[in-house]
Chains A and B, each alone.
Chain A
Amino acid sequence: MDQQHAPSEVTFHHHVPGEENVKRIWKTFWVLLIITIIELGLGLLMYATDFPQWGDLAVKGIIAILTLAKAFYIVSIFMHLGDEIRNMIMTIVVPLMLFIWFIAAFLWDGNSYKNLRNTYDKHFEERTTEKKDTTSKH
């Protein structure tokens, strides 16, 4: 098979394409699959058991972290971002840091709106809050 000639912008090839690359791809596949199965297990665990609210939140936090791990593997291995030059990686990753503020600020805002409504609109709170005795799961 003749080696591909790169476009003029590309000075060197990131990795020698070969069997080890294929191995890496399948390894990543298994990692993604196993993480997904763990996530599903945790999701069903929340359904099957009656955790207190903080317990549910903790499990949801673990699932969110596992999701970030999956995202890392997809971007780093499948999209080969991990093989690029550091400066280029930074131009992608640094702007995405905006999400830290974005998520925190807006979830905080939603939560604050709920608290205000529950404080000043008792009818809303009564109508929409789940009573513990009728919540038995089937």
Chain B
Amino acid sequence: MSSTTTAQETKWWNGGRSPFNVEYGKLMMWYFLMSDAFTFGAFLISYGTIRFSQNFWPDPNVVFNAFPGAGHANLPLAFVSVMTFILIMSSVTMVLAVHEGHRGNRVGVMKWMAWTILGGIAFLLCQAWEWHHLITGQHAVLTDKNTIELIGQTMGGNPWGKLVDPAVAQQALAVSSQETLAHLAHEYPTKEAAARSLSELEKMPKGQLMGMIDMAHAHIREKGPIAFGGYFFGITGFHGFHVFSGVIINVVMLIMTNNGVFDRKGHYLMIEKAGLYWHFVDLVWVFVFLCFYLV
């Protein structure tokens, strides 16, 4: 590359120029991102420490298997793949905006910035759906009192513990609430219960409902490690907050580009700096994806 030869010939440390050949604000963005990497790293490593200290940890393929509009179909990792694709794509549109900025093409910058913002908003919407689905989901767990309850994935409870022996779960049915049984008979019906609606089931006595639940398919679990929720919502939430602020920054950049601020300055370095931040958000997601969904 021609730049390498130039770099060797220039006396970088003689003063009068940046020895790194980088504008001040851009260099500081790099150092901010480095410190942010340590913040995220500390969170993820803390999660890893707790996970390594447990004998059991939920299988991500079991936890993340839902897809909007697909009902109860078992689609492990499908939705998070879509989210990952959206974020990679928005990284590409961002780097294309930076490229157009180098050429001083205002319309090109605006076009690719708009796509990047759309990608960011799409990712946030996906995350909102995912959180909502996890929190409001009703999963049957065997509690310490040996009853079966329906709980979602929250900060205080994790429904993805060890699988319970169906025979043990069958015994727990007798002491569980009628409402829980009605829901189970609705979700996992035996042949004679299949045609009944939930409101119909809710009016039935417990004794009748107990025979209408297909326990072999209900997959009753114990409660899983509570730390799972705090780490998942904490870290993906902190990442989501970065995406959100990235979108805000990109919107500001789009407006400034539109107003011709960078044309008057003579360079599009601000787009480059916003781009660095946006790529960093993508970079963090690569590791969040690894730690929560893949391993």
- In angstroms, Cα B41 to Cα A103, docked, is 9
In the complex, B132 has a CB within 8 A of chain A:
no
In the complex, B84 has a CB within 8 A of chain A:
yes
In the complex, A51 has a CB within 8 A of chain B:
no
Question: Taking the nearest CB of chain A, how far is it from the CB of B230, in angstroms?
Answer: 16
Given the complex, which residues of B lie within 8 Å of A33, measured CB to CB?
85, 88
In the complex, B219 has a CB within 8 A of chain A:
yes
- In angstroms, Cα B55 to Cα A37, docked, is 30
Given the complex, which residues of A lie within 8 Å of B46, measured CB to CB?
106
Given the complex, which residues of B lie within 8 Å of A102, measured CB to CB?
41-42, 45
Q: Mark B257-287, 1 if CB is under 8 A from A, else 0.
A: 0000000001111000001100110110011
Given the complex, which residues of B lie within 8 Å of A6, measured CB to CB?
23, 267
Q: Which of A43, A85, A138 contacts B77 (CB 8 A)?
A: A43
Q: Mark B17-31, 1 if CB is under 8 A from A, else 0.
A: 111111110010011
Q: How many A-B residue pairs have CB under 8 A?
A: 202
A71 touching B287 in the complex, CB below 8 Å, given contacts A12-B21, A40-B81 = yes
Interface centre among B3, B23, B96, B164 (most CB of A within 10 A): B3
**Interface residues of chain A: helix, strand, loop or mixed (majority):** helix
| Pairwise interchain contact A130-B99, C-beta atoms closer than 8 A | no
| Pairwise interchain contact A128-B45, C-beta atoms closer than 8 A | no
Question: Taking the nearest CB of chain A, how far is it from the CB of B34, in angstroms?
Answer: 6
The interface on chain A, measured as residues whose beta carbon lies within 8 A of the other chain's beta carbons, has a size of 75
Task: Scan residues 67-103 of chain B and give those whose CB is less than 8 A from a CB of chain A.
Answer: 74, 76-77, 81, 84-85, 88-89, 91-92, 94-96, 99, 101-103
| Pairwise interchain contact B267-A29, C-beta atoms closer than 8 A | no
The interface on chain B, measured as residues whose beta carbon lies within 8 A of the other chain's beta carbons, has a size of 78
Question: Taking the nearest CB of chain B, how far is it from the CB of A85, in angstroms?
Answer: 5
Given the complex, which residues of B lie within 8 Å of A21, measured CB to CB?
99, 102
Task: Scan residues 42-74 of chain A and give those whose CB is less than 8 A from a CB of chain B.
Answer: 42-44, 46-47, 60, 63-64, 67, 70-71, 74
Question: Taking the nearest CB of chain B, how far is it from the CB of A29, in angstroms?
Answer: 5
| Pairwise interchain contact A43-B48, C-beta atoms closer than 8 A | no
| Pairwise interchain contact B294-A39, C-beta atoms closer than 8 A | yes
| Pairwise interchain contact B34-A92, C-beta atoms closer than 8 A | yes
- In angstroms, Cα B263 to Cα A1, docked, is 12
A7 touching B267 in the complex, CB below 8 Å, given contacts A44-B77, A84-B22 = yes
Which residues of A pack against B, CB within 8 Å?
1-7, 9-15, 17, 21-22, 25-26, 28-29, 32-33, 36, 39-40, 42-44, 46-47, 60, 63-64, 67, 70-71, 74-75, 77-79, 81, 83-85, 87-88, 91-92, 95-96, 98-99, 102-103, 106-107, 109-111, 113-114, 117-118, 124-125, 128-131, 134-136, 138
- Ordered by A's residue number, 8 sampled pairs between the chains whose C-beta atoms are within 8 Å are A10-B21, A43-B61, A43-B294, A70-B286, A91-B20, A95-B34, A96-B37, A114-B52
Which residues of B pack against A, CB within 8 Å?
1, 3, 6-7, 10, 12, 17-24, 27, 30-31, 34, 37-38, 41-42, 45-46, 48-56, 59-61, 74, 76-77, 81, 84-85, 88-89, 91-92, 94-96, 99, 101-105, 162-165, 217, 219, 266-269, 275-276, 279-280, 282-283, 286-287, 289-290, 293-295
Ordered nearest first, which 10 A-B pairs have the shortest CB separation? A110-B52, A110-B49, A9-B18, A17-B102, A47-B61, A88-B20, A128-B55, A110-B53, A113-B53, A60-B295
